[in-house]
Structure 1
Amino acid sequence: MTAADQEKEQGGVMASAADGGGKSDEGTGTGPGDGSEGPGPGDGSERPGAGAGEGSGGPGGGAGAPDGGDGAAKPPLRTSVWQTDQKAARARHRRSTLAATLDRTKIVAAAVRLLDTEGPAKFSMRRLAAELDVTAMSVYWYVDNKEDLLEYALDAVYGELPLPDVSDPARWREQLRALSLAYRTLLVRHPWTSALVGHFLNIGPNSVSFVLAAQQAVQNSGLPLRGQLGGMAAVFQFVYGFGTIEGQSMVRSAAAGMTEDEAIAGAMRTVGELPELAEYVAVSTEMLDARGGSTIADMRNRDFDFALDLLIAGIERMAERAGDESADPSGE
């Protein structure tokens, strides 16, 4: 008898143990996916709010309050899967006789693989169960719903980030560059993360480790305390936007069966045929030629490095200005 067959026989017991059988294969989770699984990021059910990075782009960007209607009852604000009360609730679901063949780590790893290869639109608990060769109900022994699973998956990929040593204040520029490149790589490697960064509180252990490293690097720069969140926002919201566009461009090109160079060359030919955009094409061509680079990837890397240099130079100048003001409060 296979693991899936064993789970099917235990389906009634599982449904009973799972808080009175309140979970179906699909109806409990929320997030990006098919319509049977509820609302997800961007559909109006929850507004991304501001965290340490002021909005969805910065480290620590968290979920906001749900939208309310005229006199309508507001749904309870979702907090985080990492909070103690939710962990206690999930612990009641883990008494499975199949623990040797399935655990939360395996489930989250499979979810990340599916999100990477198939994208969030096709992701569902049923599809995940099929990937694991188990029943959908068995997955609910380890995660309460799809929303929690997406939060686990987001924190899991944050664990891939190589964090620099931020103990030496003199190396703050190097630290910010390393963190920025790591964050950009995450957004490109896992394009589905962009929509989730501002949807969740991002208080999982890996996300928090990244935010703490970013905070320390900005502190090392010498920016005054009142400006440190602004410094983080400038750097990491830039990286968020850059990495999001880069990742989505790669997804779009792959879906069309093209390389990025082929897709963008085709788009430029189309734009070049429109007389009303002649000035735009001329100016863009001049800028592209001056920048140099033989491939889209090469050009994009040059842009990223130059933009990051601008931000770091700005942080350095602002830190110097704060030091001057501290040394001479009169401004004379």
Structure 2
Amino acid sequence: MTSLIPLLALTTIVPSPQQAPRQYNGKLKTFYLLGEERYVIGSKEIIEIGKKRRVALNSVRTAIAFGSKTENIVAQEGKMLVILEATVKNPEKGLINVSTSELFGLRFFDANLKPGDVVYRGGFDRSLNQISKSLKSGESVDSTLVFEFPQKMPHLKMAIYFDRFIAGKNPHYDLTKLITSSGSVFAKTPLEYSPTATVAKEKEFDFDELRIKVIDTQAIEDNGHRVRVKLTNPMVKPISWGWQYATAETVDTNGQVTPMYRNFYPAPEHQNWRMQILPGQSIIGDYYFYPKEATRPTQFKITMNATRRSVTVTNL
């Protein structure tokens, strides 16, 4: 099966006719001419209508979150992000318009994708703004395209096109072995993400658009204990946070599970944080737990309500 993904985030699935094996000869960092050429009948003079462009794919990576100046993009439950870096150049004599919704399209092969499986989440320039430019002849713009895919893919084989797909003309890529991962704790491979992860206490981990590290645990009154965490915003836009965004629990030496008390207590130095973590800022705060009997917690588990991703921290 092949999947056609224009950058208006529409998906069309069409059957593959019997044909010779596809040749995936597309190379990264190499420009290819996309778009249909039109001619004057008789003279064969080329008519330029702004429907051509040269495109080079530079790199591809996967992640669960991406930050732009417009929004923080987080892969939904059961999804991962595929992020393409590309350069679009004007091969025509006149101006061409390039925008977030009109860069180039993708067609995927043999991945059993259904309509809605792949969603275009946005295109951004080097400054992480949405793209809206008029390019003069020979000018180019670097772009980052963010797509949402199922969290497990067998491979990533695709072609790029503009305006309409022309069989036999558009470059085909097998990017399967060229994909790099963001280093997410949820990444089993660059093309397979899990909804769960386990880390040691000393390790900072990604948690959707946040980064979290467990600092320590301490006994408190009423047979309770608290887990102190540091939340860091690596994005370029603020992140809202509070107890209602995630659920947490601890497990003690006897296997007893204790859910969190429904609050998040910022450390004294962050009492005025106003429920938002600014870009580059870290907030330290506590989760409280009250088991029936005072016990020593050995694990801390936190689950994001919106995406159901969870991380278990061991060796408390």
Superposition TM-score tier, normalisation by shorter sequence: under 0.3
TM-score by length of 2: 0.21
Structure ranking higher on relative contact order (CA contacts 8 Å, 6+ apart): 1
Greater helix proportion: 1
Greater strand proportion: 2
